[in-house]
C-alpha cells in the first residue's frame, strides 16, 4: 500500500503514516470523506432537537426550501368519503415522504360531480397543492401532542394562482 505513494524521502513517508495512525486512533472507523461542517446538530449543543429542527433534519430540507406557501406535488394514497358528521378528505404523500392532508373545503375537485369523492379522484393520482400549514408535532404552547409530522394542502385553483401573500 505504501508503495503506491511517492514521497520525497523516508521522513515524509513516516510522518504521513504516523499522522494517519494518530487520526485513526483518535476517531476509529471514521469516514475520511466526512466533513464536520455539514453535519446537522441541534442549535443548542446541551439539548436535544426540538420538533421543528427534527422535522427539517428528517426530511432533509431547510426552512427556506420547504415552507408554508410553497406549491408541491403529492400522490394520493387514500380517499375518505363523507360519512355522517365526518367530512370527506384525501391523504397523500409528498415527494419528500411527508403525509399531506386535503380537507373537504380545500380543493375544487370535491365539487366536480359524482356522489362520492372516490368517484372523482383515484388512488395514485398526482395532485398539486399549496402548503397551508406544516404540523411539526407540537401544540400551540410547545407541548407535545403528536409524533406525526404532516402538512395541510390547499388545492383550490384560486389558492394556487394567488402569489401576492407569499412574496417577501
Q: Which SS3 state, helix, strand or coil, does residue 124 take? A: coil
C-alpha dihedral sign at 58, 88, 105, 158: positive
Average model confidence (pLDDT) for the chain? Answer: 77
Q: Which SS3 state, helix, strand or coil, does residue 120 take? A: helix
Q: Please give the pLDDT value at position 45.
A: 59
Q: Please give the pLDDT value at position 48.
A: 72
DSSP state of 95: T
Q: Please give the pLDDT value at position 1.
A: 46
Give the chain's domains with CATH numbers.
7-38 (no CATH), 51-166 (2.40.50.140)
CB 90 within 8 A of CB 80: yes
Q: Percent of the chain, pLDDT > 70?
A: 70
Q: In this predicted model, what pLDDT tens digit does every residue of 84-99 receive, in sequence order?
A: 788 888 999 998 889 9
Q: In this predicted model, what pLDDT tens digit does every residue of 6-36 receive, in sequence order?
A: 556 666 778 888 888 888 888 887 766 665 5
Q: In this predicted model, what pLDDT tens digit does every residue of 121-139 receive, in sequence order?
A: 889 999 999 999 998 876 5
pLDDT band with cut points at 50, 70 and 90 for residue 111: low
CB 134 within 8 A of CB 67: yes
CA distance 79 to 77: 7
As a whole number, mean pLDDT of residues 151-158 equals 88
Amino acid at each position: 500500500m505504501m508503495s503506491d505513494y511517492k514521497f520525497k524521502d523516508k521522513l515524509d513517508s513516516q510522518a504521513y503514516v504516523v499522522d494517519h495512525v494518530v487520526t485513526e486512533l483518535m476517531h476509529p472507523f471514521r469516514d475520511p470523506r466526512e466533513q464536520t461542517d455539514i453535519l446537522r446538530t441541534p442549535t443548542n449543543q446541551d439539548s436535544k432537537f426540538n420538533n421543528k429542527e427534527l422535522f427539517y433534519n428528517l426530511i432533509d430540507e431547510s426552512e427556506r426550501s420547504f415552507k408554508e406557501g410553497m406549491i408541491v406535488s403529492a400522490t394520493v394514497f387514500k380517499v375518505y368519503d363523507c360519512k355522517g358528521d365526518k367530512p370527506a378528505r384525501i391523504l397523500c404523500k409528498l415527494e419528500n415522504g411527508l403525509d399531506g392532508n386535503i380537507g373537504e373545503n380545500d380543493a375544487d375537485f370535491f365539487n366536480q360531480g359524482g356522489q362520492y369523492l372516490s368517484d372523482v379522484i383515484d388512488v395514485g393520482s398526482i395532485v398539486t397543492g399549496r402548503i397551508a400549514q406544516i404540523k411539526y408535532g407540537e401544540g400551540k404552547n410547545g407541548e407535545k401532542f403528536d409524533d406525526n409530522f404532516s402538512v395541510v394542502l390547499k388545492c383550490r385553483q384560486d389558492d394556487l394562482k394567488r402569489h401576492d401573500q407569499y412574496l417577501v
